[in-house]
Amino acid sequence: MTRLEEFLGPLDQGVWEVAVPREAVTEPLDGGWKRSRINVPSPGTLASYRKGNYHLHETAAEWRVHYDRYDPKQHPLLHLIDDAPLILMIGETFLALVTSARTARSDETRLVLEGQRRTWQFMVIAGCAVILAALAILAHPVHIFAVLVSLLIPLLIAGLGLLIVMNGVSLHPPAVASKGSVFLGLCVVALGASSASLPVALWTMIIFVVLAVWMFASALVSFRRVSRGRQAVPEGLFKRLALGILSLVLGSLIFLAPQAFLKLMLDLLALILVALGIVFIQNGAELRRRMAAGIGR
């Protein structure tokens, strides 16, 4: 009988990530592993779990585990700065969507009808709607940004705050697992509620300042780790250096050319939405094919 923890020794020796075949682990995950609701998207991930600084991605064929420098429950801000910089989040999100789009037709296990209530028509319509939203962003970026700031962003911020609070609370038994996460989550909820009444210009300035601080802090941490050599960056020296440089460039762009930065971020958002729409449409088409094949039998 083998547990997943028995394979994690290399992470303490400087290895960035350990991939363990699912069949090699015969014991279920113990109670220390908690499902994580907020993660940087990763291609092929079915679910994500955390146990202290260990971060586990469950895929169809294996368990992939890496070691975060900061536990998000204990140090949420440091985790965002070091383990999940904005550039990494954007890049991994787009990569995960592109990978999903490429594998939607060939993967014979992704689309299972158990418990599915959505029809293929809804998936296709949703995909088209998302792509139309992306085109609207490209056609009217300033107007769409104003709408996002005044309506959608406050709701998203409040929702994010609730998720952070939930990550800091244990339901079985009921208890506060992380006071820091609960406090941060409540602050985020309050920020979302109050932001609805802020003028667009003021809220834009707040967003830019927060993003600039986040990116400059991520760049500083990245450069400090790179300066210590390869042992300090098991995820890859050049990858970390590139993240630091891109974070520094985008952070500087906020102050040097804020309009160009805003357009770039909206273009990236539109690109991500297009990829998401394609995933919806291809999954809907695949579901229709499977349904037709089932009826044909």
φ and ψ at 257, to 5 degrees?
-150, 75
First to last CA, the chain: 41
pLDDT, position 102: 58
- 167, with CB counted inside 10 A (0-12, 13-18, 19+), is buried
Q: Is 216 helix (H, G, I), strand (E, B) or coil?
A: helix
Beta pairing class for 169-171 and 62-67: unpaired
pLDDT, position 113: 47
pLDDT, position 111: 44
The C-alpha atoms of residue 7 and residue 113 are separated, in whole angstroms, by 34
Distance of CA 180 to the CA centre of its chain: 21
140: left (phi over 0), alpha (psi -120 to 50) or beta: beta
The C-alpha atoms of residue 56 and residue 36 are separated, in whole angstroms, by 9
pLDDT, position 117: 45
Q: Is 107 helix (H, G, I), strand (E, B) or coil?
A: coil
The C-alpha atoms of residue 28 and residue 31 are separated, in whole angstroms, by 9
Pair 214, 77: CB distance under 8 Å: no
pLDDT, position 108: 41
A 10 A CB-CB count for 56 gives 23
pLDDT, position 134: 92
Convert the pLDDT of each residue in 8-49 to its tens digit: 888 888 788 899 999 898 888 888 898 887 777 777 788 899
User: Angle 22-102-134 (CA atoms, 0-180°, nearest 5)?
Assistant: 120
φ and ψ at 19, to 5 degrees?
-110, 120
φ and ψ at 144, to 5 degrees?
-65, -40
Query: What is the longest distance spanned by two Cα atoms in the chain?
Result: 63
Looking at residue 103, the DSSP 8-state letter turns out to be H
pTM above 0.85, yes or no: no
In the numeric block, the tokens 């780790």 are attached to 225
Pair 218, 82: CB distance under 8 Å: yes
Pair 103, 110: CB distance under 8 Å: yes
The C-alpha atoms of residue 144 and residue 149 are separated, in whole angstroms, by 9
Q: Which long-range contacts (CB under 8 A, 24 or more apart) does 132-139 make?
A: 133/273, 134/269, 134/270, 134/271, 134/273, 134/274, 134/277, 135/270, 137/266, 137/269, 137/270, 137/273, 138/266, 138/267, 138/270
pLDDT by position in tens, the chain (length 297): 788 988 888 888 878 889 999 989 888 888 889 888 777 777 778 889 999 889 999 988 899 999 888 888 888 888 888 888 888 888 888 777 777 665 554 444 444 444 444 567 788 888 899 999 999 999 998 888 888 888 888 888 898 888 888 878 877 777 777 778 888 889 989 988 888 888 888 888 888 999 999 999 999 999 999 998 888 888 888 989 999 999 999 999 999 999 999 999 999 989 989 988 888 888 788 777 776 666 545
User: Angle 174-179-181 (CA atoms, 0-180°, nearest 5)?
Assistant: 100
Cα dihedral 232, 78, 257, 98, rounded to 10, equals 70
pLDDT, position 86: 83
The C-alpha atoms of residue 188 and residue 191 are separated, in whole angstroms, by 5
Query: What is the side-by-side strand order in the sheet with 47-51?
Result: 17-21, 62-67, 54-58, 47-51, 34-35
pLDDT, position 294: 60
Distance of CA 176 to the CA centre of its chain: 24
